[in-house]
Amino acid sequence: MTNQFSEAWSRMIEKLDAWFNALVVNLPNIIIAVVVFTISLIVSRYISKVVTKILSNTKLQASVRSLLSKIASIVVVLLGLFLVLGILNLSKALNTILAGAGVVGLAVGLALQGALANTYSGIVLSFIKHIKFGDWIESNGFEGEVVDLDLRSVTLKQPDNNLVYLPNKMVVENPIKNYSTTAQSRVILQCGVGYSSDLEFVRKLVKKTILENFDAVENKEDIIFLYQEFGDSSINFETRFWINSTSALEVAKAKTDAMIAIKKVFDTNEINIPFPIRTLNLPESLKIEKTNSN
């Protein structure tokens, strides 16, 4: 037992001595490798700042500029790592790392299909011109202002000031309605007047009221007034006009102002906006008797 312990101890000492000799022999290479890797880290930060500065003069989204600067930084670090492995004569280890990276990359890709799809969709959204910061859009049943666009989701601020985070994949794969692609928005207002009203006078009055209350409307020809139907209790009409805004909130405010102004002039001119009523016609043969209970 003592001999076996002594033999194992001597082998361990020999192994440590061999490692120490190898360390001493390769010490210059190790120092050079550390210096090279440190320089690569410093250069990667500088390259990242330079790329960010160059891209700041382009029309790319902030998320794309950040992504490209990070990619440039990672490439520089990887080049430094390859140089370090070459200096340390670890070419076989490099081949093993590359082979392992391929297998690991395949496994990670399968496990993170949804996340990678959102990342790719985020890059696509960042490059297209149909959606950008500040646009008012509607997608997947949600409507609001685009306040952020990263590699995971599109952030919308709704009219109630709540934030909605839409995965990029859903935005890319579904229709997008962008209210900000034009300089104006159309306001559509529906109302009804009583059957005893002078329809021609109502049309002229509504057009005049809108013309006087909205600066974007330059003449009456820009206002569309259409009678729609003979309703159950009113003759219904629809009027349309433009405002200088692409915000859904501004459209709602303009519609509110138009309703207030039209209601005011209708009251002044004794034009009735009837509400649904029901008339009961009782046959003459029907008698209603009242009974008094003591």
Domains and CATH numbers, the chain: 12-111 (1.10.287), 130-178 (2.30.30.60), 185-268 (3.30.70.100)
Structure confidence by residue, pLDDT tens digits, 245-286? 777 778 888 999 999 999 999 999 999 888 876 666 667 665
Residue 167 has pLDDT above 60, yes or no: yes
DSSP-derived letter for residue 152 is: S
Q: Determine phi and psi for 44, rounding to 5 degrees.
A: -60, -40
Greatest alpha-carbon pair distance for the chain in Å reads 130
Cβ–Cβ < 8 Å for 179, 248: yes
Nearest to 134 by CA among 247, 44, 35, 242: 247
Q: What whole-number distance in Å separates Cα of residue 207 and Cα of residue 261?
A: 11
Q: Which residue has the higher pLDDT, 92 or 112?
A: 92
The confidence score (pLDDT) of residue 103 equals 57
DSSP-derived letter for residue 27 is: H
